[in-house]
Amino acid sequence: MNRTAYTQQAKRWVIKIGSALLTKDGKGLDYVAMAEWTKQIAHLRQQNIEVILVSSGSVAEGMSRMGWTKRPSDLAELQAAAAIGQTGLIQAYETEFKKYQIQAAQVLLTHDEVSSRKRYLNARNTLRALLKLKALPIINENDTVALEELRLGDNDTLAALVANITEADLLLILTDQQGLFTKDPRHNDDAKLISEESASNSDLLSYVGEIATTLGSGGMATKLIAAQRAAKSGCATIIASGREGDVISRIANGENIGTFLKPNESHLSARKQWIASQVQASGTLVLDNGASNAIQTKGTSLLPIGVESVVGEFKRGDVVDCKNQHNEVIARGLINYSSVEAQKLLKQPSNRINEIVGYAGDTELIHRDNLVVL
């Protein structure tokens, strides 16, 4: 399916707007631009398209109000800036959406909400209820309380997780760049815009760097990774410039703007979407070549005989990464044994599991129904 078909059939959009756009590169909220985006979003809703807005800008707005020119590195100061800026950000959106009789709803999320299966489902139910009530959810990371090790890291990641949670059809990432290029266009005159590609194309990562702006925490690499996350639930992604005139409406009409990243053909089940969505794993299993190959090409369960080492501490039911011999994460799944038990089971045949752990356990470390190949 091509870009036009995807955009015209997409009935649930997640739209992410970055800090640089929202705050005029750190000079305070750009109310003119916000008014324009909200007008276009209102037009989408008039076409019976559901919209979930993921908005950066609380930290940047807080910085502007405090007169800071550099993003704080101290966590407490970062949280303070978010608290100061969040009130202005949501008030500005509410004022604009009221012009179109749209009820805005603020939703703040942390990694906690997606790392716990129960909280993940609760977040999904809340967002579904808001959409059913015709409210427009405005989502941001809860920077005011999130600990550094629990933070989602950037709102590109958050937007992809929201797309997974809500089973959105299209993720639109508005940024200060035209899209994904073959090289950094700021330093290479021969850089070419990639108009359309598969999100799963591993070559794309070689085109982007880890350059972060002074306001946001992510660069083009985070946007590409977000597109790959969204694709796992069948969601297409468009990365485009928010400074492009009427950008949202033109994209909705099928116009070729920015970079369109097509999703995978096969969609993951809701359970596997949750596993794949986890930003942080509790531990790691290092696999031998035979196990790596079997998981990636044959869709098998992971047996203890194919595991060479265990890294980290985890308990039964935790999410763990599976790495190959090149230190690449190739899969992620729900482990059937604790790290202590898994250590004892290394390179052992499944018929010895009961004898080694002392009870009648599962015959595999990770069952294929709880294993997601990345």
Do 189 and 60 lie in one domain? The reply is: yes
- Tell me the Ramachandran region of residue 153: left when phi exceeds 0, alpha when psi lies from -120 to 50, beta otherwise: left
> How confident is the model over 303-311, as a mean pLDDT?
96
> Last residue of some domain: 244, 272, 300?
272
Q: Number of H helices and number of E strands within the chain? A: 14, 13
Give residues with Cβ within 8 angstroms of 121, minimum separation 6.
none
pLDDT tens-place string over residues 87-131: 889 999 999 999 999 999 999 887 666 667 777 778 888 999 999
Residues β-bridged to residue 276: none
At residue 212, the pLDDT reads 41
| DSSP secondary structure code for residue 103 in this structure | -
Q: Report CA torsion sign: 308, 310, 316, 321.
A: negative
Domain ends where: 272, 289, 304?
272
Higher-confidence residue of 233 and 239: namely: 239
- Residue 150, sorted as left (phi over 0), alpha (psi -120 to 50) or beta, turns out to be alpha
**In terms of domains, do 123 and 76 share one?**
yes
Q: For residues 139 and 114, what is the distance between their CA atoms, to the nearest angstrom?
A: 14
Query: Is residue 210 very low, low, confident or very high in pLDDT (cuts 50, 70, 90)?
Result: very low
Asked if residue 218 and residue 308 are part of one domain, the reply reads no
Shared-domain flag, residues 328 and 236:
no
In terms of residue numbers, what domain contains 90?
3-272
Question: Which residues neighbour 116 within 8 Å (Cβ) at sequence distance 6 or greater?
Answer: none
Summarize the confidence of residues 351-358 as an average pLDDT. Answer: 92
Q: What share of the chain in percent tops pLDDT 70?
A: 91
pLDDT in tens, 134-179: 999 999 877 555 544 434 557 888 899 899 889 899 999 999 889 9
User: CB–CB of 27/64 below 8 Å?
Assistant: yes
The answer on 362 and 268 residing in a single domain is no
pLDDT score of 145:
57
* 164 plus 133 within the same structural domain: yes
What b/e readout covers 166-191, taking b as 16+ CB neighbours within 10 angstroms? bebbbbbbbbebbbbbeeeeeeeeee
Cβ atoms of 260 and 195 closer than 8 Å: yes
CATH number of the domain within which 299 lies? 2.30.130.10
174 and 102 within one domain: yes
Which of 272, 304, 320 is the last residue in one of the domains?
A: 272
**In what order do the strands lie in the sheet containing 259-262?**
104-109, 136-141, 50-55, 12-17, 170-175, 236-241, 259-262, 196-198
User: Can you read off the two tokens belonging to residue 203?
Assistant: 């070559």
Q: Is residue 323's pLDDT more than 90?
A: yes
- What's the CATH number where 180 sits? 3.40.1160.10
Q: What is the CA radius of gyration of the chain?
A: 22
Mean pLDDT score of the chain: 87
- H/E stretch holding 355 reads helix 353-357
What band does 215 get if pLDDT is binned at 50, 70 and 90?
very low
pTM for the model stands at 0.76
The tens digit of pLDDT for each residue in 5-31 reads: 888 889 999 999 988 888 876 677 899
* List of E strands, the chain: 12-17, 50-55, 104-109, 136-141, 170-175, 196-198, 236-241, 259-262, 283-287, 307-311, 319-323, 329-334, 371-373
Average pLDDT over residues 197-222: 68
Q: Count of CB atoms within 10 A of residue 31's CB? A: 13
Residue 277 has pLDDT above 80, yes or no: no
Domain count, the chain: 2
pLDDT at 366: 94
